[in-house]
Structure 1
Amino acid sequence: MRALAAAAVGLAAALALVLTVTAIGAPTGETSPEPLLTTVPGPKD
């Protein structure tokens, strides 16, 4: 019974966190116009 109660409390906390983040929304800002390098640049020919 304690495990069931702990699971319910954890689920409620996770749901509250998700709803809070959803209500706040994404932060405002701009993305960088330059692409990110995913590999090490090689020698320039």
Structure 2
Amino acid sequence: MRALVAAAIGLAAAVLLVLAVAAIGVPEGSTSPKPLLTTAPAAPGQ
């Protein structure tokens, strides 16, 4: 029974958090026009 109450409280907190973020609005942002260039490390022994 305690697990059910804890799950209900957690679900209610998650829903409230989503509603709060929706009410405040998502922060403005943009993606970088440049791609992230990454290189793989050299294999050992080469």
> What 5-or-longer segments of structure 2 have no aligned partner?
39-46
TM-score, scaled relative to structure 2: 0.64
**TM superposition outliers: structure 1 runs of 4+ over 3 Å:** none
Aligned-pair Cα RMSD in Å: 2.1
Q: Write the mapping of 1:1-40 to structure 2, written as runs, cut at 5 A.
A: 1-28=1-28, 31=30, 35-40=33-38
> What 5-or-longer segments of structure 1 have no aligned partner?
41-45
TM-score, scaled relative to structure 1: 0.65
Number of equivalenced pairs: 38
